[in-house]
Amino acid sequence: MVIGDKIKVFSGNANYELSESVAKCLGVELAEAKVSQFPDGETRIDIAESVRGSDCFIIQSTCAPVNHNIMELLVFVDALRRASAWRINVVIPYFGYARQDKKVSPREPITAKLVANMLEQAGISRVITVDLHAGQIQGFFDLPVDHLTALDIIGSYLKKTDLSNSVVVSPDIGRATEGRRLANYLGLDLAILYKRRKSPTETAVSHVIGEVEGKRPIIIDDMISTAGTILRGVEALVELGAKPEVRVGATHPVFIDPALERLAHPAISEVIVTDTIPYRGHLGKVNVLSVAPLLASAIRNVHDNISVSQLFSSPQRG
């Protein structure tokens, strides 16, 4: 067997269900490893099978508890490297600390860069991730980064629904490109919420660019954290005459309290997210789509040395 022909897919504890789905899409079993803690809370990794000469993929979202999941991933990488794995690829569906990608005030860290440095020093060969909050994080690594998007998954779902009299809404200028791509794919117009930030976690909508009166809005974003931006956007849209039938789409359901309470607003009819982060809530209007087929395709292409670019191309109209 040629070196690297063996593929092994491992899972951390952050999102085991997604890892199982990815393995199923690949037609393989998850490789055996016990991920636990010592009595004092230190991370313990026991690789239960040989990985010598293997092409290894570790699936681990660095969602809450963020620091624990990052440390778990680092220890996992170190264990595989010391066990003579041929290549160590980390699949990070949700990349924690992505909002700390630059200094916004004096004496602040750039923690996303620090995380990239730690992963590289641990011994990774490649990163596969989905819808980074800040795309420039790709440049924080001096190794290949495959930046996938779930926009086509959400777009394909929406295209099968009733889109009559709908309009795609970008929650801010920074997400206008993604909003435009989705609008083009769905054959809809685009509106943009112009907001001003009151604090690191709070914004206010000042005005809306585009026509929303009498329309059914579809707000699209990369993540929903506290849902404060979403709620203020929904209220602004309804005040401007949009129908109180707002659908919200986002890749990452971070859902920090009181997010679910805010998303229960009667003007929000549906919340469409993916399983990059496990959803443990009970809000009936939340619809979870899976990124497992997308991640499995990326893993397969990387392992077979096939281009991955077609997988992270955002949907185009047609």
Residues designated as active site: 195
61, 15 contact by CB (below 8 A): yes
Q: Which one, of 75, 70, 52, lies nearest residue 60 by Cα? A: 70
As a whole number of angstroms, the distance between CA 293 and CA 23 comes to 10
Q: Provide φ and ψ at 298, rounded to 5°.
A: -65, -45
- Separation between Cα atoms, residue 255 and residue 237, nearest integer Å: 22
Give how far Cα 226 sits from Cα of 7, 26, 175, Å: 38, 34, 18
**Could you count the other beta carbons within 10 Å of the beta carbon of residue 225?**
18
Task: Name which of 248, 296, 246 is nearest 273 in CA terms.
Answer: 248
Measure the CA–CA gap between 179 and 196, rounded to whole angstroms. 19
In terms of phi and psi (left: phi > 0; alpha: psi -120 to 50; beta: otherwise), the region of 200 is alpha
Secondary structure class of 241 (helix, strand, coil): coil
The amino acid present at 285, given as its one-letter code, is K
For residues 206 and 191, what is the distance between their CA atoms, to the nearest angstrom?
14
C-alpha dist (Å) from residue 203 to 179, 199, 253: 19, 7, 19
3-state secondary structure of 126: strand
